[in-house]
Structure 1
Amino acid sequence: MHGRSFVAVSVAGGLALVYAVLVPVACVAEDVATAEQPATPTGAATPSPSPAVPSPSPANAAPPVTPAPSQTEAAAPAADPVIAGIRSKLADAALRKGADPADLAALDTFYAGRSGPPVWVTPMGFSARAQATIDEIGKADDWGLSASAFQLPPAGILPKTVDDQAVAEIKLQLAVLKYARFARGGRVNPSSLSNILDLDPPIRDPKIVLAEISVSPDPGSYLQSLHPKHEQFQNLRRALLKARGGDGTSKPASERDIQKIVINMERWRWMPENLGKIYVQDNVPEYMLYVVKDGKVIHSDKIVVGLLRYATPVFSADMQSIVFNPEWTVPPTIVRENLMPNLRGGGWFGGSSILSEHGLKVKYNGRIVDAGSVNWSSVNMANIAFVQAPGPTNVLGKLKFVYPNKHMVYMHDTIKRGLFKPTMRAEGHNCIRMEKPSQLAQILLAEDKGWDTKKVQDLLDKGYDSAVNLDHPIPVHTTYFTAVADADGKVTSFPDVYALDGKLAPIVAGKAVASATTDDDADTPTGSVPAARSKPPKENVAGQIQGLFGD
């Protein structure tokens, strides 16, 4: 019994000792935990301290209810103080002024979802990555851009407050996004310069730019990678550095020559990133056609483009078919300007005689009708088409290359062989005529279908408005490059036939954007083919059509 009593007393004493030691420790821990809690915001209820030992709950008691997070807490994750400052500052009208709306929207989204540290700033200023980014944007002139276009914060800035850090981060991000947009051709909308420029620059989504550059180990190289990778763009850049004396071996060129290089670098920014494994390029100022396969020219040919008044549009589309010995449907502009005035007014050649003069038939709702049976003063022209049958006098010659587009432009043969003798070859309407169309057909059909020359020649001899659909559409790029460069930076220039260089020059120089104009509004450039400014008189209709269509 004594033994049991001793043991009980010892155990009790031990528990008392343990309790005496643990209670102060628990109190100290509770005091430390309480000291680490943030101060209660003004106006908030002070929570009651929890009891050290929870009271036992009845066996059937419901579990405590945890309050759901508010919608505000769910929308924006807990953020670094600078990130919170950025979210607030992005609403500042002064910071948003002049910025691209898409860039601002991307920044709002990016920082609303970011809880980590800022991308560029630290309490000690800009990070090394930020310094590299600022340095690269400062070299924008080497890439045909203008460094003065970017409002960069000072590289050595030492922000004193969280707000200062937030503003510095936003300014650098806006400069990054503007640089990315300009590198991809977003300096100006091409169609705002001329109605014939139907191009869609491959601008990178600013949300993607922010996501990519924020994790890039080398943001300077990332910015460089946004510029076009086309060989000709890189050649022109070498020419630009050489023209400015940046290669260390050349004397600086004239400002006019430098400007021409920069203008054509800008046009490359408007081109599709992927031109195609095999593609056709029609370069209007050069009056030349090229077939390029795997980056190498495998065929070239002379072309004739439209007069300034009927300028050949600049765009890209996929060739879908090649038509052998095609029927010709008169384009709307020729109907409107050359045929209808004569048909409705009688004119020198007695109304419908102009049609028989050129072998034109009238189709009403797709059916051939007698031109003399049509009341040309009241007929609905939407139901009328004028066509010319295949044959030796057909203005399209023996081949037509179709790449559907809103301009209703295509490439074709011609019976006017003398058009290819002059150096400058602009005549008639906007479709492109070529000197050696049969060679182009042979090359493209050999690539697409594996056809030999004999099969192509058989269709040339026997086909009658025979369309051959391509199994794999081939891109056709109608371009307007007034300067090209070789791998050594040697530049070759071509006439500014449609007076478009002068419209782009102020843009690349950082001046105001010009408004879009029609071709009739353009000034006739040096070396261009002047265009008539008014509709041809009725008494010259036959001569006009003869000049536009055939020999």
Structure 2
Amino acid sequence: MRVRWLHATLSAAVLLASGATLARAQDIDLFANADPAATSNIPVKPDMPAAAAPAAPTPATVPMAKASLTIEPSDWSPGHAAPAQPQAETGKRGDGKTVSKLDDPDTVVKPAVPAPSQDPLDTAKPAEPGKAPEPAAAQVVPLAPLPAAIKAALDKRGAAEIRGFEAVERRKERAAIAAYYAARKYQPLWSGNGAAIAAVDPVLARLAKAGDDALGVADIPAKVVAKGTEDEVAWSEIAMTEAVVAYSRQATGARVDPRVISPLIGARPQLADPAKVLDDVAAAGSAAGDRLAALNPVDPRYAALRDRLASLHGARAPATTPIPAGPVLRIGMHDARVPLLRARLGVMALDLVADADEYDMELAEAVSAYQRSNGLRVSGRLDTATAASLSGAGKGSSLEGALVANMEMWRWMPRDLGSDRIEVDVPAYVVTVFHDGEPVATNRVVVGKPDTPTPIFSNTMKYAIVNPVWNVPQSIIKKEMMAKIDRGGGLRGFEVSYNHGQLTVKQPSGPKNALGQIKFMFPNDFSVYLHDTPSKSLFSASKRAFSHGCVRVDQPFDFAFSVLNDGVPEGGKVVWSQKRLEKMIGDSERYVNLPKPLPIHIMYFTATADAETGKVVQREDIYGYARAVTAALKGEARPAAAVVAERKPRRTAERPARAATARAAVATDEDPR
């Protein structure tokens, strides 16, 4: 009995040993035919010393199948989400080549797959609340008194609790600062040998003007302490660094994440890397203040908003003599308040005696200009709100909020828009083509409705399609077409079929196609584009938010001429004339590549400088984005959709005939978007 038990135990032990040997042999054989250089970094298993690692058994003793590794090519890289690919189908281009093209989901814009963060601090794990960041490595040599004081101060700052809506960003900044000083062995940045470096005074001067750019940098130091106790120098050092990092991060857009405002805002600010900013600014000497200021947007339209904000701050003091209450003044009226109003607006009467108290056309135009630039209802009449604003009551409350919000949205934009580019100005309902930085053509557009906004993002236009086919999205089929089909009604002008049990609807090329006769493609995650439309009457409306997200272009072949000829005809001859493009109109799709891809920016600014006068004007916040940004800057998390929903319906002075035309055009089958 004992002999059999011992025999069985020994047999089991042999089998287990054989299995282990086989498993290790397989591990080794996996790389048997690999390049030795490629396998030199393969670690030895922890339980097997390198000297005792067994050699792979020969095939005669351990038969096994060869294993192989296959690595598929990919655009993905560590730390980045795999890019979302739009669904595509193939089509024939004019030269017969097969190209891929997006489906035509104009009607319902889908939120894009979240893009990878553009924040360099997101690659490192921020310090936990109430916990100091761990040092990068153990200190072997004891620190000198000043570096030791800086490290102790950083540890204390890192362990301090941070509250408020900016807590996450401030924790990230403090962790980045701690890592920065650890890398430089806690040596001071802003002083040396008992004196402040040359960059300090210019930086302090710029930090003092942070409010000019509507930045909220707190705890700006009055000076840098270079002489004093180690603790005094250390805390002064950290205060200066924290202010510079906060300025750089706010200037590049760290305060408001566009995704909080709306998932249909694809713009991603390029946030500053604190380590790079600190190195660059400290080394800039007398130009350090300019280096810091240059982190703000450089577009002249941003500068116009900043200048208007500065003038608004300068006019904060109430007027010496308030404008008295009285009836609303209209053109042709005489009133004792008119001379005071003229003095306030700098408008002289034609006849200083006879016309001094007359509210004339020139004065009404000056009042209109004041109302427009101060966020008031533009009427040209002196009403109660205008009189109160001119008297200093509530000065700037509405306009200032709009200016600050739009300055913040400029921080989301690329710093270089491109000298040759396309801009879609959503609140202005226009698209403009630029060549060499100058506008060369402007067309009216129709944009998304408030409940189906046009996405805001930047991309590159690559080609156009003449005679486009519209493949109706499933969302539109279900919401707007299925009920009609279920009732037994047909879809006139559409091709209906079933694909793997799913109903598909396609509208062939033709003059009644919802996309018109041409569309302009810039493949993107939102599946939107610019296109023609058969509903031409909508372009006559002053407010043109009628689509489900795509942008409809008035006079699309004029627009095509601007983007396809690159602004400079070759050899004095136009490459793509409008006549040549119109000859391509037919019943099959034709592809036309742009001579060079053009950057396209779909933009949303409700306060901007007028192109002719340079004065700041305000536009309707149709998607509620500006108000949502204002709320976010105050720490109120209110997505734009909630802001739009809170708005009360407004009565419009639009003529009934025009309103009826617009409603009919939106509702018909010819353009159901």
**Structure 2 length-normalised TM:** 0.59
| Residue 565 of structure 2 is aligned to residue 446 of structure 1 | yes
Q: Which residue of 1 aligns with 2:605?
A: 481
Change (3 A) 1:325 1:516: same
CA distance in 2, matches of 1:454, 1:167: 68
Instruction: Tell whether the 8 Å contact from 2:199 to 2:281 is kept in structure 1 after alignment.
Output: no
Of residues 287, 300, 303, the one that matches 2:442 is 300
| Residue 250 of structure 2 is aligned to residue 182 of structure 1 | yes
Q: Which residue of 2 aligns with 1:169?
A: 237
Q: Which residue of 2 aligns with 1:522?
A: 645
Of residues 622, 629, 633, the one that matches 1:504 is 629
Residue 413 of structure 1 deviates from its aligned partner by: 0.6
Instruction: Tell whether the 8 Å contact from 2:453 to 2:548 is kept in structure 1 after alignment.
Output: yes
Q: Could you tell me which amino acid in structure 2 is paired with residue 337 of structure 1? A: K
Instruction: Tell whether the 8 Å contact from 1:321 to 1:403 is kept in structure 2 after alignment.
Output: yes
CA distance in 1, matches of 2:670, 2:151: 63
Instruction: Tell whether the 8 Å contact from 2:225 to 2:232 is kept in structure 1 after alignment.
Output: no
Instruction: Tell whether the 8 Å contact from 1:496 to 1:528 is kept in structure 2 after alignment.
Output: no
| Residue 668 of structure 2 is aligned to residue 546 of structure 1 | yes
Q: Which residue of 1 aligns with 2:147?
A: 83
Please tell me whether Structure 1 or Structure 2 has the larger radius of gyration of its CA atoms: 1
CA distance in 2, matches of 1:409, 1:454: 24
CA distance in 1, matches of 2:605, 2:415: 17
Q: Which residue of 1 aligns with 2:297?
A: 228
Measured against aligned partners, the alpha-carbon deviations of 1:368-414 in whole angstroms (never above 9, x if no partner) come to: xxxxxxxxxxx754xx5321001121111111011111221111111
Residue 76 of structure 1 deviates from its aligned partner by: 7.4
Of residues 545, 552, 564, the one that matches 1:433 is 552
Alignment of 1:56-75 (within 5 A): none
Change (3 A) 1:547 1:288: farther
Q: Which residue of 2 aligns with 1:362?
A: 496
Q: Could you tell me which amino acid in structure 2 is paired with residue 360 of structure 1? A: F
Change (3 A) 1:74 1:190: closer
Change (3 A) 1:517 1:265: closer
CA distance in 2, matches of 1:496, 1:192: 17
| Residue 408 of structure 2 is aligned to residue 266 of structure 1 | yes
Measured against aligned partners, the alpha-carbon deviations of 1:330-384 in whole angstroms (never above 9, x if no partner) come to: 13432232123444xx2xxx24x342x2x1113544xxxxxxxxxxxxx754xx5
Alignment of 1:24-43 (within 5 A): none
Unaligned runs of 5+ in 1: 1-70, 366-378, 530-541
Q: Could you tell me which amino acid in structure 1 is paired with residue 275 of structure 2? A: K
Q: Could you tell me which amino acid in structure 2 is paired with residue 258 of structure 1? A: E
Alignment of 1:79-478 (within 5 A): 81-92=145-156, 93-94=158-159, 97=162, 98=167, 100-114=170-184, 117-121=187-191, 129-146=199-216, 149-155=217-223, 160-217=228-285, 218-245=287-314, 254-343=396-485, 346=486, 350-351=487-488, 353-355=489-491, 357=492, 359-365=493-499, 381=502, 384-447=503-566, 451-453=575-577, 456-462=580-586, 464-478=588-602
Change (3 A) 1:132 1:435: same
Change (3 A) 1:76 1:364: farther
Change (3 A) 1:380 1:121: farther
Residue 486 of structure 1 deviates from its aligned partner by: 4.6
Moved more, 227-236 or 478-487: 478-487
Partner secondary structure for residue 309 of structure 1: coil
Residue 459 of structure 1 deviates from its aligned partner by: 4.5
Moved more, 468-477 or 190-199: 468-477
Partner secondary structure for residue 308 of structure 1: coil
Of residues 618, 625, 643, the one that matches 1:493 is 618
Unaligned runs of 5+ in 2: 1-134, 318-343, 346-389, 653-663
Measured against aligned partners, the alpha-carbon deviations of 1:412-439 in whole angstroms (never above 9, x if no partner) come to: 1111111011111111311111111101
Q: Which residue of 2 aligns with 1:372?
A: none
RMSD, aligned α-carbons: 3.5
- How many aligned positions are there? 443
Change (3 A) 1:72 1:325: closer
Q: Could you tell me which amino acid in structure 2 is paired with residue 549 of structure 1? A: D
Residue 307 of structure 1 deviates from its aligned partner by: 1.2
Instruction: Tell whether the 8 Å contact from 1:328 to 1:396 is kept in structure 2 after alignment.
Output: yes
Instruction: Tell whether the 8 Å contact from 2:450 to 2:644 is kept in structure 1 after alignment.
Output: no
Measured against aligned partners, the alpha-carbon deviations of 1:300-338 in whole angstroms (never above 9, x if no partner) come to: 011111111111111111112200011111134322321
Partner secondary structure for residue 270 of structure 2: coil
Partner secondary structure for residue 298 of structure 1: strand
Q: Could you tell me which amino acid in structure 1 is paired with residue 151 of structure 2? A: R
Q: Which residue of 1 aligns with 2:336?
A: none
Change (3 A) 1:136 1:413: same
CA distance in 2, matches of 1:468, 1:75: 64
Moved more, 433-442 or 516-525: 516-525
Partner secondary structure for residue 305 of structure 1: strand
CA distance in 2, matches of 1:525, 1:125: 61
Change (3 A) 1:210 1:456: farther
Partner secondary structure for residue 455 of structure 2: coil
Q: Which residue of 1 aligns with 2:41?
A: none
Measured against aligned partners, the alpha-carbon deviations of 1:77-108 in whole angstroms (never above 9, x if no partner) come to: 88653233323332223457345344334323
Measured against aligned partners, the alpha-carbon deviations of 1:212-264 in whole angstroms (never above 9, x if no partner) come to: 11211132111111111112112222222223337999998623222222221
CA distance in 2, matches of 1:397, 1:207: 52
Greater helix share, 1 or 2?
Answer: 1
CA distance in 2, matches of 1:362, 1:77: 78
Instruction: Tell whether the 8 Å contact from 2:462 to 2:594 is kept in structure 1 after alignment.
Output: yes
Residue 171 of structure 1 deviates from its aligned partner by: 2.2
Q: Could you tell me which amino acid in structure 1 is paired with residue 397 of structure 2? A: E
Residue 160 of structure 1 deviates from its aligned partner by: 4.3
Residue 285 of structure 1 deviates from its aligned partner by: 0.9
Instruction: Tell whether the 8 Å contact from 2:517 to 2:585 is kept in structure 1 after alignment.
Output: no
Q: Which residue of 1 aligns with 2:364?
A: none
CA distance in 2, matches of 1:441, 1:82: 65
Measured against aligned partners, the alpha-carbon deviations of 1:502-533 in whole angstroms (never above 9, x if no partner) come to: 2111344xx1142435479633377699xxxx
Partner secondary structure for residue 545 of structure 2: coil
Change (3 A) 1:524 1:428: farther
CA distance in 2, matches of 1:190, 1:332: 28
